[in-house]
Amino acid sequence: MNLKQLEYFVRVAELGSFSKAARVLGIAQPALSRQVRLLETDLRETLLLRNGRGVSLTEGGKRLFEHSVGILQLVAHAREDIGASRDAPTGRIVVGLPPSIARQVTLPLIDAFRSQLPRARLAVVEGLSAHIAEWTATGRVDVGLLYNPEPQPALETTPLLEEPLMLVQAAARRAGRGPVPLRDLADYPLVLPERAHTFRRLIETQAAHTGVKLDVAWEVSSVPTIIDLVCAGHGCAVLTASAVAASPRGAELRVRPIGEPTVVSVLCMAISAHKRPTPLGLKVMALLREITIPTVAATRAPAQRG
């Protein structure tokens, strides 16, 4: 097994085709197939199932894919760390953002990155906080922003800011005004994400502590779709002000703070606990902090118009 074989295997797995991978890698397809076969022979394991539409991973292939992505990321970081100059970090970095933050932060982040780090490359991926935590722990993401991460040995997290959760209603449907006591949430049909979502766990835990049973009318794990359902009158949502501000339908909503007690969501920055940040990583972490905190904080006042 060698790094070139792992790189070839990962590219075939990602593209689902030997012919596509050969074109991207710039090598002949027979040579690519031979290297993957040598890898399978060395491991004594079939990694890819060939079919008329391309290839798919076997169970052994899925396990090797996870390891390979992490290994290749570590090698890339080692090269970047050694080759980066003090004044102009180089290399490629992957940033993971939850959708509500991505809408507000991606453009200013790219503008600042292009201006301050012209020799480096940036990739931005979106996902639920649980997914970003997993991607960061396994090396697919270098720096992630996520809400309310659970403690785990593979992650090092730093709180950036706190956001109170809000009851979100359709403004056109005689929505109430003013704060909503947590005990009164039982009176509202709610459109909430599935239980894996951090907002759902947070509000249900706090409701249980207060002896409140929530009326979950619909389970939807897409914030834009939740907002569409609220605007259509299918229920209310529990979201942060920044999530509402990121929506193009924000003007159709009324946002009311939840109180007695206040329920707070914590936005954190996460990196792998098992590898030292590169110069590029440190610079991007600083940019994320500089951009995210004022950007998200600015959404609170206009959004809290209940």
Sketch out the chain's domains with CATH numbers: 3-80 (1.10.10.10), 88-160+266-303 (3.40.190.10), 161-265 (3.40.190.290)
pLDDT of residue 87: 54
pLDDT of residue 289: 94
Q: What are phi and psi of 162, to 5 degrees?
A: -110, 140
Q: Give the separation between CA 260 and CA 263, rounded to whole angstroms.
A: 9
How far is the CA of 294 from the CAs of 64, 78, 187, 288, 289, in angstroms? 41, 33, 34, 10, 9
Token pair of 232 as six digits: 């259509």
Diameter of the chain by CA atoms? 68
Summarize pLDDT for 269-287 with one digit per residue, the tens.
999 988 888 889 999 999 9
Amino acid in the structure at residue 271: I
* Residues in the chain where the model's pLDDT stays below 50: 301-306
148: left (phi over 0), alpha (psi -120 to 50) or beta: left
How far is the CA of 237 from the CAs of 188, 196, 244, 302, in angstroms? 9, 16, 10, 18
pLDDT of residue 29: 92
Summarize pLDDT for 242-256 with one digit per residue, the tens.
888 878 888 888 888
Q: Give the separation between CA 99 and CA 107, rounded to whole angstroms.
A: 13
